[in-house]
Amino acid sequence: MKLDNYRKGFEAFLKLERSLSSHSVQAYMRDVAKLVDYFDLSDQDPSPNQISQKDIRSFINHLSDLGIAARTQARILSGLKSFFDFLILEGVLTESPAELIEAPKIGMKLPEVLSIEEIDGMISKIDLSKPEGERNRAILETLYSCGLRVSELTGLKLSNFLKEEGFVRVEGKGGKERLVPIGQSALKYIDFYLEAQRNHQEIDPDSVDILFLNRRGKALSRVMIFNIVKNLAKRAGIQKNISPHTFRHSFATHLVEGGADLRAVQEMLGHESITTTEIYTHIDRQYLKDAIIQFHPRAKKRQSRF
């Protein structure tokens, strides 16, 4: 069988065995489609066991020639490795032609992080006289307290709060659940929101158990959370490129700066690999470097010579 014939089986595997979201499945399928298109361009139609390491290297070079960024090339290569691993599981291949192919070198782009003062500044700009004021304060407190992804925030359920224990059950990527500690401050402002707004509004039957609701009693969209955060950052005079995810980065960075164990941070963030979490140690080191440049007398003298 030719390479293209295995795509449907790979798609089913991603959905049923790995329980990936439709967005993630589509991304993997696009990666495989790019390889199929590459062979079509060169008038080839190989079966999986005819594809060599040389072919994969040529394909990556082809992506580079098209002007595709190194970060995107690395992601596509990762998708292809998953595809060939699937073919090994199916007994189609005995080894992956992409296994020993190294991803293109990419520079590490450190995410934006808010200081505690900037977070407090954004919260102080919330107009509590408006009906949505208490809700928006509870949203920001929860984002920062738990380090949630925006999709996890919009899907938070009242039934998943373990208030006495100080935890909330979060449904992350691929439907995987984890328990995340939630601070007393966030719980306090959630209670304020419940008393001031949510307990007194008409709620859509599909959203009865959802914590954060819009004025029509339905779950908030990701776009609405994004707009709330953007508007508050603007009102607080913050020039950084802020999104709801910035609170997640800030949560993790502040924990690492405070000496938290990296494995514990990994668990709270729901990262599958510790490598993903390690970016926050780089942020911490950058913070130390900046502090030395700013405050160390030798660093100051060295800078003043140029």
Q: What is the pLDDT of residues 190-202, one digit of tens each?
A: 999 999 999 999 9
CATH (residue range 3-89): 1.10.150.130
- The identity of residue 101, as a single letter, is I
Task: Identify the active-site residue in 81, 135, 137, 149.
Answer: 149
Q: What is the pLDDT of residues 184-233, one digit of tens each?
A: 999 999 999 999 999 999 999 999 999 999 999 999 999 999 999 999 99
Task: Identify the active-site residue in 81, 248, 249, 254.
Answer: 248
Task: Identify the active-site residue in 157, 169, 178, 271.
Answer: 271
Helix (H) or strand (E) holding 145: helix 133-146
pTM greater than 0.85 (yes/no):
no
The residue ranges of the chain whose pLDDT is under 50 are 288, 291-292, 296, 300-306
3-89 with 116-291: one CATH topology? no
Q: Count of residues for the chain?
A: 306
Can you tell me whether residue 202 is helix, strand or coil? coil
Residue 245: active-site member: yes
Residue 203 gets which letter from DSSP?
-
Backbone angles phi, psi at 28, to 5 degrees: -60, -40
CATH (residue range 116-291): 1.10.443.10
SS3 per-residue string spanning 43-105: CCCCCHHHCCHHHHHHHHHHHHHCCCCHHHHHHHHHHHHHHHHHHHHCCCCCCCCCCCCCCCC
Domain ranges of the chain: 3-89, 116-291
